[in-house]
Amino acid sequence: MTARAGWLLGVAVDALTARERLDNAIIDLVELGQFPPCHTEPDAWFSDSPTVIETAVAACLRCPVIHQCRAYALADPRTSRYGVWASTPDPRQRDVLARYESRSA
Ligand code: SF4
């Protein structure tokens, strides 16, 4: 296996692991009778309207799985390229937050 193939495999495994953690967190939430806000009004998370997007961004801040959601969005940037993920409508914002957090850890 080439170094690049190994790196790509590692990226894919990280994305799958992050997705599994997010799915498990959502399952735990559903078992408590709750849903992430984006599961009740999904269109708002992919709206073209800045006002609607701001509503989705604010709703994410109350989401119990926001940390798992952001970890997944960072691990799988292709899937999370569009829409609001973890209260950030722009993937570049997630990158900045991740770099900031890694420096403060
Ligand atoms: S944090 Fe993620 S899972 Fe929660 S509402 Fe926002 S986009 Fe949905």
Phi, psi angles (nearest 5°) of residue 97? -60, -40
Predicted structure pTM score: 0.86
Would you place residue 103 in the very low, low, confident or very high pLDDT band (cuts 50, 70, 90)? Answer: confident
Distance CA 85, CA 100 (A): 18
pLDDT at 91 over 90: no
Nearest-CA residue for atom 8 of ligand 1: 38
* pLDDT tens-place string over residues 72-86: 998 998 888 899 999
- The three-state secondary structure class of 87 is coil
Q: Is the CB of 66 under 6 A from ligand 1?
A: yes
- The three-state secondary structure class of 88 is strand
Cβ atoms 74, 90 nearer than 8 A: no
Cβ atoms 24, 72 nearer than 8 A: no
* pLDDT tens-place string over residues 44-56: 999 999 999 999 9
| H or E stretch at 1 | none
- The three-state secondary structure class of 58 is helix
Q: Is the CB of 56 under 6 A from ligand 1?
A: no
- Cα–ligand 1 centroid distance for 49 (angstroms): 18
